[in-house]
Structure 1
Amino acid sequence: MVHASPSKYYLITMIIFLLGLQTRLCAKEYYVSIKDGDNSNDGSKEHPFRDVSWATAKLQPGDTLIIRGGRYHDCIGPWKLEGKRRRPTVGPWHDPKNPVTIRAAEGETVIFDGTLPIKDISEGNWEHYKGGIWRIKLTRDIWQLFDGDEIQTSARWPNAFWHDGSIWDQNRWASFGDNTYMKNREYIDADTKKFPHCDIAKAGFDATGAMIIMNISNYDTYCEVVTKHAKGSPRFRTTFNKTGTIRALPITRGVDRNGKITRQFKKGEGRLLPIFNLFFLECSLALLDAPTEWYYDKKSKYLYF
């Protein structure tokens, strides 16, 4: 029988302990401050980094990153530096025994803000466009706008807003009138008596180029583009026909309130009932007519507000 010397076990245990102690002793503590930090600093409490993304790229297993109070507009996560570019990677962070710790400084509030200040992504200053509308040229595309912490509404018709919750009100959608019908994939809102707020003929704009969100055919929703419309007209054409999203028309027969067939539609035609068919328009400067609304033109890079 072979017996191992107890001293060998003690030696192995001591080596493991020392290795673990060495890892803890090598762990560093870094600081970040959006108020007085600089990425050229060493990351100490007295000389913190400025950007969280910069600091996280330097973290090793067991390290701690302490973030001073403030609002931060950059990313947090494991990054690998490649020249001036940073790429996401699990890298050295993947060490369950020596986890990286990221926390706010004691008693301070840290906010991660996914937005970017307009001044940081624009050229020049705000300029008057017309009426109550101002504009500014941006250096990058945007998809949402905030005023402070309050979300603003992409210009739309009929008007509905985030700030008062009316964006959720289905009554703020336009409803096709009783006499609405489809011909050659054109929608016509002919009824102006029951739904005066959604009479596109009296809305006073040309909707060509606008995005139309249609909730039709028993609550199927489609996002298309208005390809043809004229100011004062109740008729408009959309990409509904070109995209092939609809295999069958919603209604193929005209029926009165007693269920009697009043009209048999031809191929490419159909009647849209107001109770099942709603729509609204977005993404057009022509729709910008109220406070808290905005529009961004991707071609010209102008933000209108």
Structure 2
Amino acid sequence: MPIIQKILIFLIASGFCSGQLSAQRYLYVSLKGNDKNNGSTTAPFHSIERAATYASTLSGDIVIHIEGGTYYLNKTIEINSANFKAKSLTLQPSSKGKVIISAGKKLSLKWTPFKNGIYVAKVDTKLSFERLFCDDALQVLARYPNYDSTARVFHGTAADAISPERVKNWSNPKGGYIHALHPGEWGGFHYQFTGIDKDGNLQMEGGWQNNRPNKMHKDLRFVENIFEELDAPGEWYFDKGKKLLYFYPPQNVNVQTATIEVAHLKESFVIQGSLNTPIQNIIFSGLHFTHNKRTFMETKEPLLRSDWTFYRGGALLFDGTENCKVSDCVFEGLGGNAIVFSNYNKNNVVTGCHIYQIGANAISFVGDIKAVRSPSFGYENYIPYSELDKTPGPQNNNFPQQCIVDNNLLHDLGQIEKQATGVQIEVASEITVSRNSIYNVPRAGINIGDGCFGGHIIEYNDVFNTVLETGDHGSFNSWGRDRYWSPNRKYMDSLVAVHPEIILLDAQKTTVIRNNRWRCDHGWDVDLDDGSSNYHIYNNIFLNGGLKFREGFYRKAENNIMVNNSFHPHVWFKNSGDVFRHNIVMKGYAPIGVNDWGNAIDQNFFQMQ
């Protein structure tokens, strides 16, 4: 056969002539560019939005190179499977400087003195904002009590935050907020003031941010966004009706020359596919996200019977995607969540990211509640056995699975919302969380909200300075409360004794917690709460809070070291199948209501008392 024929056959077989090989194409974005350009290196686009929209219409592997600078988004950039044709899309900086993607707006203001060190400026925009940055530093929305960096909860609280004596000094509290812990310190509540009734009583709405309804904590509370509370350097207030911005600048800040930026958008990017038509291969690399709005008043969706409600949004929202990646990105100064994987997401990766100083959660995986058979949505709720769907496993595939969170730095999270964490997993399967450092969080560092559907691997993480503002929780926390579970213990005991086959209907796959270092100062280092089942916990170091197993089945803890604390078995089932062996324990066991000690609680080493 002539050589030319051999070459031609090879090219056809490799897909070259059939068009199966996709071409790689580069697009360029620069603040010096123009959105009427073609996106080439010599004629770059001006906006990321224009580049992403154009890239979606192209086939092949598309790379968007973004020149250094701050890019203010006019609106959320949506990439939808209905109009996405590319094989892959990568957004990354060019070699020219740091790329900041701002969900905010930069204001041009003319300040005049108001009184008592406060300045005022007219805002010529239709914007409504509740986060303000001065020279890149987040400022304090006017509040009582004043901001205290040393205070344990909410940077300062006061029992008289909404006392009649204080409220009568407010001319118009509408639009203000009260934030408070749950009375059991199980997260927080947030209410917005809607006005004052004829008797002078505050009217408000909210309180849906916690799935364990209750009154507000009577002491741990504060108010903000009240004009009359503007009385300390760094505080500000925006009169939305008059479009007047009041600011008490910090010392050593020249308000006339300072850069003022305000939050504008909740989401920066929404990647929207579906279970049947997922978007694949979207990559964010080396980008810096900031200035997203607060979302605590939209944190409403109950996540089964966990203590959480949730807002399915963040600076990056992935919904219906596969093989997507967020690498080496920075997320800071966000009012809500950073990265959210909602519903179906498979083989996605978050790696090398730095997420800090944000209002809510760092990385969240939350599936479709409709994937769960016989779901219940409150702690007190359960479905009787006669009405229970007894089919094992999920009802559909619309949930995160086989995703990875690796080698990230996550800290100073939940600065507004106190039911917040570094990595949240709910209605998901086989999520790997490895080699992350997580610290300075108000509640858990890693939280698994249910047993649906297990198979997670939690390994080589360093999680400390956790449960700083709340209580009765763990550096790692989980809730079971699966189909078999009921708050009525007598009913549950009788049910699982007769029908043990229903125990693992949801928690089908074993979740592994290994080779981590945990520390909690207001609870347990690892807290398997309320029926959490099917766990294997080994080769961990527990530095302060010890290990808790409450209710639940088929948990094995071995080869762990517990410093300053011990093993806390709470109200175990008969025939739980639990194992605790080959551990080094510094204090004696701390059981509560345990009559049946599982399969093997033995061969552990204790320090001499």
Which amino acid in 1 is paired with 2:27?
Y
Report if aligned partners of 1:129, 1:135 keep a CA contact under 8 Å in 2. no
Unaligned runs of 5+ in 1: 1-6, 80-86, 178-185, 190-199, 230-234, 251-271
Provide the residue aligned with 2:101 in structure 1. 112
Which amino acid in 2 is paired with 1:157?
Y
Tell whether 2:85 aligns with 1:143: no
* Pair 94,62 (structure 1): closer, same or farther in 2 beyond 3 Å: same
Tell whether 2:259 aligns with 1:290: no
Query: In structure 2, what is the Cα distance between the partners aligned to 1:57 and 1:172?
Result: 45
Tell whether 2:49 aligns with 1:37: no
Provide the residue aligned with 2:110 in structure 1. 125
Report if aligned partners of 2:190, 2:207 keep a CA contact under 8 Å in 1. no
Which amino acid in 1 is paired with 2:80?
T
1:286 Cα shift?
1.0
Report if aligned partners of 2:177, 2:190 keep a CA contact under 8 Å in 1. no
Report if aligned partners of 2:142, 2:237 keep a CA contact under 8 Å in 1. yes
Query: In structure 2, what is the Cα distance between the partners aligned to 1:76 and 1:19?
Result: 39
Instruction: Give runs of ≥4 in structure 1 deviating > 6 Å.
Output: 242-245
* Pair 206,15 (structure 1): closer, same or farther in 2 beyond 3 Å: closer
Query: In structure 2, what is the Cα distance between the partners aligned to 1:49 and 1:249?
Result: 52
* Pair 76,104 (structure 1): closer, same or farther in 2 beyond 3 Å: farther
1:101 Cα shift?
2.9
Number of aligned positions between the proteins: 228
* Pair 127,100 (structure 1): closer, same or farther in 2 beyond 3 Å: same
Which of 187, 191, 197 aligns to 1:223? It is 191
1:108 Cα shift?
3.4
Which of 161, 167, 172 aligns to 2:156? It is 172
Report if aligned partners of 2:141, 2:224 keep a CA contact under 8 Å in 1. yes
Report if aligned partners of 1:154, 1:295 keep a CA contact under 8 Å in 2. yes
Report if aligned partners of 1:52, 1:75 keep a CA contact under 8 Å in 2. no
From the CA coordinates, give the structure whose radius of gyration is larger.
1
Q: TM-score normalized by structure 1?
A: 0.59
- Matched residue of 2:18: which SS? helix
Query: In structure 2, what is the Cα distance between the partners aligned to 1:224 and 1:29?
Result: 47
Query: In structure 1, what is the Cα distance between the partners aligned to 2:137 and 2:12?
Result: 58
Indicate the structure whose relative CO is greater, using CA pairs within 8 Å and at least 6 residues apart. 1
Query: In structure 2, what is the Cα distance between the partners aligned to 1:226 and 1:73?
Result: 32
1:125 Cα shift?
2.7
1:89 Cα shift?
2.2
Kindly indicate which of the two structures has a greater share of residues assigned to helix.
1
RMSD of Structure 2 on Structure 1 (CA): 4.2
Provide the residue aligned with 1:256 in structure 2. none
Provide the residue aligned with 1:90 in structure 2. 81
Provide the residue aligned with 1:18 in structure 2. 17
Q: Deviations over 1:20-73 (max 9, x none)?
A: 37742xx53221111x21222222212211111111111113232211122222
Kindly indicate which of the two structures has a greater share of residues assigned to strand.
2
Which amino acid in 2 is paired with 1:155?
A
Q: Deviations over 1:84-115 (max 9, x none)?
A: xxx642345455xx322322113632222222
Report if aligned partners of 1:30, 1:66 keep a CA contact under 8 Å in 2. yes
Unaligned runs of 5+ in 2: 1-5, 248-609
Which amino acid in 1 is paired with 2:191?
C
Provide the residue aligned with 2:201 in structure 1. 237
Query: In structure 2, what is the Cα distance between the partners aligned to 1:167 and 1:289?
Result: 19
* Pair 41,222 (structure 1): closer, same or farther in 2 beyond 3 Å: closer
* Pair 286,23 (structure 1): closer, same or farther in 2 beyond 3 Å: same
* Pair 72,187 (structure 1): closer, same or farther in 2 beyond 3 Å: closer
Which amino acid in 1 is paired with 2:122?
I
Which amino acid in 2 is paired with 1:52?
I
Query: In structure 2, what is the Cα distance between the partners aligned to 1:110 and 1:100?
Result: 17
Report if aligned partners of 1:127, 1:136 keep a CA contact under 8 Å in 2. no
Query: In structure 2, what is the Cα distance between the partners aligned to 1:109 and 1:137?
Result: 29
Which of 57, 71, 91 aligns to 1:102? It is 91
Q: Deviations over 1:236-286 (max 9, x none)?
A: 62226x9899xx997xxxxxxxxxxxxxxxxxxxxx9xx953432211211
Tell whether 2:71 aligns with 1:64: no
1:214 Cα shift?
4.5
Q: TM-score normalized by structure 2?
A: 0.32
- Matched residue of 2:104: which SS? coil
Query: In structure 2, what is the Cα distance between the partners aligned to 1:65 and 1:76?
Result: 19
1:147 Cα shift?
1.1
1:116 Cα shift?
1.2
Provide the residue aligned with 2:177 in structure 1. 211
Provide the residue aligned with 2:379 in structure 1. none
